[in-house]
Amino acid sequence: MIEIKDIRHQYNNNHEIVFKDWQIENNQQWLLLGESGSGKTTLLHILTGILKPTQGSVKINNTEIYQLSPKALDQFRGQHVGIVFQKPHLLKSLSITENLQLTQSLAGLEVNTNRIDEVLDSLNILSKKNSKPDQLSQGQLQRASIARAVLNKPTLLIADEPTSSLDDKNAQAVLNLLLEQSQLNHTTLVIATHDQRIKEAFTNTYSLL
């Protein structure tokens, strides 16, 4: 279960954003809706433990994440939160498999090649496992970045504007992949977007005004 409570965040220029309390049950799928500038990214960063809010608490699986030491928080994030960025951002110097091995070892987990193959297979890019990122197409890269996000079976899978730069067909495909993967890995899914096209797929919505 993920829970945020009494969150306020104030930037240096004194612009303060107040966020409604939010409770997410395990294995739920949520849409985080909001226009750009509404604080969507800020909330995502607070939720994933990379931006400490001025006030309030974030609990993931009963762990008060901002009470952890910086190093423990890094480790916690690696194990419990998976993030799909708008762009894939795989390390160019490493092959796909190596990127995924890095994901396991940075989270403090054992390198498990069976798990890596399993995830790559479920995303249909197992044949690319030894390729470097620049040898993959855009779609394959997106799949690889999803593979990285779900690899450690995180409690929370977050996708930040995963569809905004895609056409209808591809947007639908990525959305399906995310839904499918969150179910497959028993992961809670939160998609942050201002893309109205994918609204229908979700019953749970958290809107920022």
CA distance 191 to 187: 12
Nearer to other proteins, 33 or 149 (CB): 149
Q: Does 169 bind other proteins (CB under 8 A)?
A: no
Q: Which C-beta is closer to other proteins: that of 41 or that of 170?
A: 41
Tell which one of 17, 22, 34, 45 touches other proteins (CB under 8 A).
45
For residues 182, 188, 193 and 197, what is the CA-based torsion angle, rounded to 10 degrees? 50
Q: How far is the CB of 174 from other proteins (least distance, A)?
A: 17
Q: Is 94 in the site for other proteins (CB under 8 A)?
A: yes
**CA-CA distance, 172 to 195, in Å (whole number)?**
11
Which residue, 77 or 143, has its beta carbon nearer to other proteins? 77
Least distance from C-beta 200 to other proteins, angstroms? 27
Instruction: Name residues contacting other proteins, limited to 109-168 (CB under 8 A).
Output: 111, 148
Task: Please tell me whether residue 75 binds other proteins under the rule CB under 8 A.
Answer: yes
For the chain, the residue count is 209
Full DSSP string of 25-87:
-TT-EEEEE--TTSSHHHHHHHHHTSS--SEEEEEETTEEGGGS-HHHHHHHHHHHEEEE-SS
Q: According to the binding rule CB under 8 A, does residue 70 interact with other proteins? A: yes
- Under rule CB under 8 A, residue 81 binds other proteins: yes
Q: Residue from 74, 131, 170, 172 that binds other proteins (CB under 8 A)?
A: 74
Residue 38 interacting with other proteins (CB under 8 A): no
* Token pair recorded at residue 196: 């109205």
C-alpha span between 97 and 94 (Å, rounded): 8
Minimum distance from CB of 48 to other proteins (Å)? 7
